[in-house]
A and B are shown apart, each in its own frame.
Chain A
Amino acid sequence: MGTSPDFSSASTHFHDRVYAADDTTPTVQATSKNGTSDSMTGNRGKDASKRAGDTRPATSSSAGTTGDHDEEEEQRPPLPPRPSLLQADLPSAPSASTMRPALQAKPTTAISSVDIQTLSFPDGTRGTFSTPASRTVSEAVSISAISGGQSTPSRKGRNGSDIDDATSLMSYAPTLRANGDLASLLDEGLSSQSPAWKLLSTQAETVNPFEKVDYEDLSLVDFDHEFDEIEAVDQKGGNEEELLLQWKSKLKHYLILSSAGKPIYSRHGDQNLINGYIGIIQTIISFFQGSKDPLMGFTAGKTRFVVSTDGPLYFVAISRIGESDAQLRSQLEALYMQILSTLTLPTLTHLFTNRPNTDLRRPLEGTETLLSSLADTFTKGSPSALLSALECLKIRKSQRHVINNTLLKARTEKLLYGLIVAGGRLVSVVRPKRHSLHPSDLQLIFNMLFEAGSVKAGGGENWIPVCLPGFNNRGYLYMYVSFLSAFDDGGDLDERPSTAHSTSREDEIAILLISADKESFFELKQMRDDLVKQLEKNGSMEIIKTAVRQGRPSATDIVPGTQLKHFLYKSRANVQFTMPSFSPHFSNLLARRRLMTLYHNLHASTHAKHSHLKVLHCVSRDSISLAWTTPVFEFYCVAGPNASRAGLAQGANKVIQWVKREEERVFIIGGAVF
């Protein structure tokens, strides 16, 4: 996405800064190298290639809506015509100008040194930029914000930034278009930030993001019912019409079918209800498949369809909540990984080579809940899935060191990977020198243990054959799992850990011991007993439980007085992320989805192919937000609509300084290796 010409100076500044950031990378990489040959870094390239768009063949031209330029993977709707002085790499798109001809002359993207006054780089250096008059004001604001807690930025500050807003900001509203369509981003945003609106909104006290219901935005109106089950069609089919209405009201669907057209999985609706649709979608996909021009996706009204083909399987995501194609595609990829995790690739291939007409539902029987919980995680919005990164439990470096060593000491011969996980957050991991753990594999495991109820509800210890496709998609590993509750105090070791009465997934501490030997259950069980005993003895168990009970800190715990309400920070080298607690502002399902939609939009914009966007500042009626990517990290944050840009930028800087300071607490660097 290009900057509009008026801001070329700003963007030059910006490039200077990017190079500065680049300079810092060697140091950072060096540190990770002289650590334990950190093979988690190896995922980086993989991740990047995944993000850069699937490397699958024949993605070039899509049968979708628009023309045939190269970045069609992203399915960007046509851009409005622009003055000819725009950079050549912008696709010259036809039509659609009729939509909003008036917008041509308006400013476009966000990049401007005005947005961020001071940038601190992870190595501690700082870049400062000459900024307009609002600078002093912004500092004043931030000081008052620190002293006065949640104070509103002064009117003066607002007025000062008005000018900047009018000239340099891309206003940005969460949109239903399939992805970062510039024109559509602009329309609502601009009008919502009209001077009159601003004047009005500054009258209000500090407003939290998404606090006001946006009555024009009906996209999530039924979100509360999104996860309600649809009943089965009764025998006479009398309730079919009503069920179809329910089915159609879902904002998100996932369908899996075989290339022969057999239904395999649908998140909503039973087979009788959806069979017709499966037939239609199979016909459409096969039509394009036949003409050697595979269908990647298409849009119908406000609904985006994304298709992905993996061997004999078709995966379809149908979304009305505005994720980008790349994001939907990675969700479909995760569903495929779940299927591989159940069957392994050779088995899957074998089934369909022998009988192309195979009904895969039978071999997958019992794993529908795993697919559904994965799908629901995406629909609810998962930072971990969005960033393809893991979250760790924050504990002191020395404490983690003790836990790592305890794990290493308890290790038995048959152990491949050993993990301690608390509520989906990694506490410690031991692994062989040559093998790393893939975030996609851990996503599957965490989904099984913490999202789907089946393993936990069993109330015992578990021995689970599982294929981890990132590790090896050709065979099974065997996973010993037992749970402890963070609220169980004192350890009666004879009492087998049970979870049937447990409260929520956040409180569950799981011990996972993975082996390639299917007979090693009792060996690993013994290891688990020794490990837990040792952890109890050296106090580590109490540390873990306390950390779990404390939960994530809130944004204001991290940066006192900040206007930031939430943020995501991903360390690229470690493939890990950290974030504050969702509560109090985003604790309910809908608020959390809105937040995640915003993050998805920011992520999509900064990850769009050929977008060299490093800093993106967005203003909408219900929030302001910032995305910032460097070779070291990706950072996204959000504040209420009345927060000042300066406050947002300052908060961002403070958080990044905090992460830098706490790096070895919030992330596992290297982990324990044997």
Chain B
Amino acid sequence: MAARGPAGTRGGSTRFAQFKLVLLGESAVGKSSLVLRFVKDQFDDFRESTIGAAFLTQTISLDDNTTVKFEIWDTAGQERYKSLAPMYYRNANCAVVVYDITQASSLDKAKQWVKELQRQANENIIIALAGNKLDLVASHPDKRAIQTADAEAYAREAGLLFFETSAKTSENVRELFTSIAKKLPLDQAGPRNPRAGGRGGVELRSEAPGTNANGGPCGC
């Protein structure tokens, strides 16, 4: 299925919405680990770098009758992939920008991503800032390089959701994605049956990047 933009449904008493989410951040901060924890509830101590980008989906229930499906682009953090990033965030409804709380430079990189998103991405994009590797400072508090208060202040100023997370212990991982889901405009699209697919009144694929290809995307 092609990716969809925000699509809400209210079939009887249930609502179903689907959103595109992109993960950005410096390499080795734990983007893939966060996703893997969220999607498969797994963690691997020795993860190799992501090559290119990975596409995953996960559905969560906000309450008894609200279901949100995330289509997640987990991007590689290396510099050489930077020029591909717009392809992944162009139609995103939400983004998680990740840094490593034990690496001071990774927050700077995260700030650059936030700036780029605010300038280039969808203007209604919801951005969450995630300071990952909370487990490392739990055992060795001196490893912390970025104070929670500093990052929080920055997040408030830039209008971002903020969490410190640990993909390893899964602390705050679900909370992070749930709070994003809650902030997303569930009612934006009109009521529809989730199973209606393309037969409903709304063309679901209108925002799929695949169909944009011919229309001349940014030529970066």
Contact at B76–A519, with CB atoms within 8 Å? no
8 A Cβ contacts from B28-52 to A: 32, 36, 39-40, 42, 44, 47-52
Q: CB-CB < 8 A to B18: which residues of A?
A: none
Q: CB-CB < 8 A to B213: which residues of A?
A: 414, 517, 519-520, 523
Contact at A462–B54, with CB atoms within 8 Å? yes
Q: CB-CB < 8 A to A498: which residues of B?
A: 40
Q: Per a CB cutoff under 8 Å, which of A362, A367, A461 touches B54?
A: A461
**Could you mark each residue 328-356 of chain A with 1 if its beta carbon is under 8 Å from any beta carbon of chain B, else 0?**
00000000000000110000000000000
Contact at B27–A365, with CB atoms within 8 Å? yes
- Chain B residue nearest to A343 in the complex (CB): B80
Q: CB-CB < 8 A to B202: which residues of A?
A: none
Contact at A448–B55, with CB atoms within 8 Å? no
- The answer to the question of A366 belonging to the interface, with a C-beta cut-off of 8 Å to chain B, is yes
* CA distance in complex: A465, B51 (Å): 8
Nearest CB in chain A: distance from B51 CB, A: 5
- The answer to the question of B81 belonging to the interface, with a C-beta cut-off of 8 Å to chain A, is yes
Q: Per a CB cutoff under 8 Å, which of A366, A517, A525 touches B78?
A: A366
Q: CB-CB < 8 A to A462: which residues of B?
A: 51-55
Binds B, one of A308-316, A380-388, A452-460: A452-460
Contact at B49–A454, with CB atoms within 8 Å? yes
Q: Per a CB cutoff under 8 Å, which of A453, A460, A520 touches B48?
A: A453
Q: CB-CB < 8 A to B208: which residues of A?
A: 522
Nearest CB in chain A: distance from B79 CB, A: 7
Q: Per a CB cutoff under 8 Å, which of B3, B42, B52 touches A463?
A: B52
- Chain A residue nearest to B57 in the complex (CB): A496
Contact at B210–A452, with CB atoms within 8 Å? no
Nearest CB in chain A: distance from B216 CB, A: 10
* CA distance in complex: A466, B47 (Å): 21
Q: CB-CB < 8 A to B47: which residues of A?
A: 454, 457
Nearest CB in chain B: distance from A483 CB, A: 11
Q: CB-CB < 8 A to A370: which residues of B?
A: 51
Nearest CB in chain B: distance from A266 CB, A: 18
* CA distance in complex: A452, B87 (Å): 26
**Could you mark each residue 443-484 of chain A with 1 if its beta carbon is under 8 Å from any beta carbon of chain B, else 0?**
000001000111101111111111000000000000100000
- The answer to the question of A529 belonging to the interface, with a C-beta cut-off of 8 Å to chain B, is yes
* CA distance in complex: A518, B48 (Å): 23
- The answer to the question of A363 belonging to the interface, with a C-beta cut-off of 8 Å to chain B, is yes
**Could you mark each residue 359-393 of chain A with 1 if its beta carbon is under 8 Å from any beta carbon of chain B, else 0?**
00011011101100000000000000000000000
- The answer to the question of B1 belonging to the interface, with a C-beta cut-off of 8 Å to chain A, is yes
* CA distance in complex: A464, B51 (Å): 6
* CA distance in complex: A366, B213 (Å): 29
Q: CB-CB < 8 A to A466: which residues of B?
A: 52
Contact at B55–A461, with CB atoms within 8 Å? yes
Q: CB-CB < 8 A to B210: which residues of A?
A: 519-523, 526
Nearest CB in chain A: distance from B107 CB, A: 19
- Chain B residue nearest to A482 in the complex (CB): B55
Q: Per a CB cutoff under 8 Å, which of A453, A500, A521 touches B40?
A: A500
Contact at A365–B51, with CB atoms within 8 Å? no
**Could you mark each residue 42-84 of chain B with 1 if its beta carbon is under 8 Å from any beta carbon of chain A, else 0?**
1010011111111111000000000000001010101111001
Q: CB-CB < 8 A to B78: which residues of A?
A: 365-366
**Could you mark each residue 497-533 of chain A with 1 if its beta carbon is under 8 Å from any beta carbon of chain B, else 0?**
0101000000000000000011111110110010000
Contact at A465–B49, with CB atoms within 8 Å? no
- The answer to the question of B212 belonging to the interface, with a C-beta cut-off of 8 Å to chain A, is yes
Nearest CB in chain A: distance from B75 CB, A: 10
**Could you mark each residue 404-428 of chain A with 1 if its beta carbon is under 8 Å from any beta carbon of chain B, else 0?**
0000000000100000000000000
* CA distance in complex: A362, B54 (Å): 22
Q: CB-CB < 8 A to A453: which residues of B?
A: 48
Q: CB-CB < 8 A to B80: which residues of A?
A: 342-343, 363, 365
Contact at B74–A454, with CB atoms within 8 Å? no
Q: Per a CB cutoff under 8 Å, which of B1, B27, B49, B53 touches A369?
A: B49
Q: CB-CB < 8 A to B209: which residues of A?
A: 519, 521-522
Contact at A448–B51, with CB atoms within 8 Å? yes
Contact at B3–A366, with CB atoms within 8 Å? no
- The answer to the question of B2 belonging to the interface, with a C-beta cut-off of 8 Å to chain A, is yes
Contact at B48–A452, with CB atoms within 8 Å? yes
* CA distance in complex: A218, B54 (Å): 45
* CA distance in complex: A455, B32 (Å): 11
Given known A366-B76, A522-B3, contact A458–B217 (CB-CB < 8 A):
no
Contact at B56–A496, with CB atoms within 8 Å? yes
Contact at B50–A522, with CB atoms within 8 Å? no
* CA distance in complex: A460, B42 (Å): 13
Q: CB-CB < 8 A to B3: which residues of A?
A: 522
Given known A519-B212, A522-B2, A526-B1, contact A460–B55 (CB-CB < 8 A):
yes
- Chain A residue nearest to B75 in the complex (CB): A463
Q: CB-CB < 8 A to A460: which residues of B?
A: 39, 54-56, 72, 74
Q: CB-CB < 8 A to A365: which residues of B?
A: 27, 49, 78-80
Q: CB-CB < 8 A to A458: which residues of B?
A: 32, 36, 50, 54, 56, 74
Q: CB-CB < 8 A to B2: which residues of A?
A: 522, 525-526
* CA distance in complex: A47, B217 (Å): 40
- Chain B residue nearest to A480 in the complex (CB): B55
Contact at B55–A459, with CB atoms within 8 Å? no
* CA distance in complex: A38, B74 (Å): 39
Most chain B CB inside 10 Å of its own CB: which residue of A343, A414, A519? A519
Most chain A CB inside 10 Å of its own CB: which residue of B51, B81, B87? B51
Q: Per a CB cutoff under 8 Å, which of B50, B52, B72 touches A465?
A: B52
Q: CB-CB < 8 A to A525: which residues of B?
A: 2, 55
Q: CB-CB < 8 A to A520: which residues of B?
A: 210, 213
* CA distance in complex: A462, B51 (Å): 8
Contact at B51–A454, with CB atoms within 8 Å? yes
Nearest CB in chain B: distance from A478 CB, A: 8
**Could you mark each residue 547-582 of chain A with 1 if its beta carbon is under 8 Å from any beta carbon of chain B, else 0?**
000000000000000000000000000000000000
**Could you mark each residue 197-218 of chain B with 1 if its beta carbon is under 8 Å from any beta carbon of chain A, else 0?**
0000000000011111100010
Contact at B48–A457, with CB atoms within 8 Å? yes
Contact at B87–A518, with CB atoms within 8 Å? yes
* CA distance in complex: A176, B56 (Å): 49
* CA distance in complex: A529, B76 (Å): 24
Q: CB-CB < 8 A to B48: which residues of A?
A: 366, 369, 452-454, 457
- Chain B residue nearest to A479 in the complex (CB): B52
Nearest CB in chain A: distance from B4 CB, A: 10
Contact at A454–B50, with CB atoms within 8 Å? yes
Nearest CB in chain A: distance from B116 CB, A: 18
Given known A459-B56, A522-B208, A522-B210, contact A465–B40 (CB-CB < 8 A):
no
Q: CB-CB < 8 A to A448: which residues of B?
A: 51
Nearest CB in chain A: distance from B70 CB, A: 12
Given contacts A369-B48, A525-B2, list 14 more A-B pairs with CB under 8 A.
Answer: A366-B51, A366-B76, A366-B78, A370-B51, A458-B54, A458-B56, A459-B36, A460-B55, A460-B56, A463-B52, A463-B54, A464-B52, A519-B212, A522-B209
Closest 6 CB pairs of A and B: A522-B210, A366-B49, A464-B52, A454-B48, A460-B56, A519-B213
Chain A residues with CB under 8 Å of chain B are: 342-343, 362-363, 365-367, 369-370, 414, 448, 452-455, 457-466, 479, 496, 498, 500, 517-523, 525-526, 529
- 5 inter-chain pairs at a CB distance below 8 angstroms, sorted by A residue, are A454-B49, A457-B47, A463-B52, A496-B57, A526-B210
